Amino acid sequence: MENNKAEAEKAINIVKENFNITSQLYKEFKLFKALAETHEISDNLANLIITEAKTASNNMFDSYKLEKEKSKLIKDLNYTFGKGFIFEQKLSSYKIYATIQTLLNEWRNNDNNFDKVTEYEILLHESLTRQKDKKIEKVCQPNNLTRSLMKEIFNKKYSKTLSEAQKQLINLYTNEKDEVVSNEFKKIKRDCLALVEKYMSSCGNKILNNKYKIISDKIENLNEDNVSKENLSKFLLIEKLSSEILGE
């Protein structure tokens, strides 16, 4: 097909017809492409992407329409090129493509094989964090497609409940290195503790003061160097508390 212009044109037409922007196939392709083409990111961001991709595979698609569109695509390919022809084509990145497609299928399956899912998630994690050049010390940032995908997922899940400050923190968390995230956590913690202390000094309600003292102690004990998704949730709550104290 590579050296056959007529055959290539037929394939392009099939792709255009089946992967239109409103189709479930196109939506899955965007997710698939982001997972396949992203490399050289931190362990933390890789874990986050896998978690959100798993959520997206269940919440962003109409499974019935997706399977129907896939069946039509295979039918069109078989009719045009002969049954099974398309599956005989060699792909240089077959291993990671097969890994991602298996995960997308298993994540949608309520009775999935836990051992298989774990094994393939490890393979995907290795692909996402793989360094192309060991001599390059600078950690590359996720590509624009990945950033766009992450923002789309977060916006669908949280846009109605998050403040602007919380959205900015999520944006920083998905785009920046761990060191930058840790520094932002430190600033959020420092600012919130200052607000709580100021509030307590001006509040004459003993019950409220006791409540905020407990909260203050919990904030003080937070580890700003822990940039896990679980810790991100805690700092999102701190941002919310700061906004409430400020009356925003």
DSSP letters for 89-109: S--TTHHHHHHHHHHHHHHH-
pTM of the predicted model, to two decimals? 0.54
- Rounded CA separation 36/102 (Å): 13
Q: pLDDT for 170-196, tens place per residue?
A: 888 877 788 888 999 999 999 999 988
Q: 83 and 35, same structural domain?
A: yes
144 pLDDT above the threshold of 60: no
- Rounded CA separation 128/143 (Å): 11
The residue type at 87: F
> Residue 190: what pLDDT?
93
Q: 129 and 168, same structural domain?
A: no
Count of beta carbons in the 10 Å neighbourhood of residue 94? 10
Domain count, the chain: 2
**What is the pLDDT confidence band of residue 137, given thresholds at 50, 70 and 90?**
very low
> Minimal CA–CA distance to 124: which of 202, 31, 199?
31
SS (H, E, C) 114-166: HHHHHHHHHHHHHHHHCCCCCCCCCCCCCCHHHHHHHHHHHHHHHCCCCCHHH
> Residue 100: what pLDDT?
94
- For the chain, what is the mean pLDDT? 82
- Rounded CA separation 234/114 (Å): 29
Q: Which of 119, 136, 153 is the last residue of a domain?
A: 136
- Asked whether residue 215 is domain-assigned, the answer is yes
Structural domain for 216, as ranges: 162-246
Q: 230 and 110, same structural domain?
A: no
- Rounded CA separation 120/239 (Å): 35
The predicted model gives 123-131 an average pLDDT of 88
> Residue 147: what pLDDT?
55
Q: 126 and 221, same structural domain?
A: no
Q: 127 and 46, same structural domain?
A: yes
Q: 191 and 119, same structural domain?
A: no
The residue type at 47: N
- Asked whether residue 146 is domain-assigned, the answer is no
Q: 123 and 20, same structural domain?
A: yes
**What is the pLDDT confidence band of residue 11, given thresholds at 50, 70 and 90?**
confident
Q: 131 and 36, same structural domain?
A: yes
Q: 167 and 80, same structural domain?
A: no
More confident residue, 247 or 35: 35
Q: 48 and 13, same structural domain?
A: yes
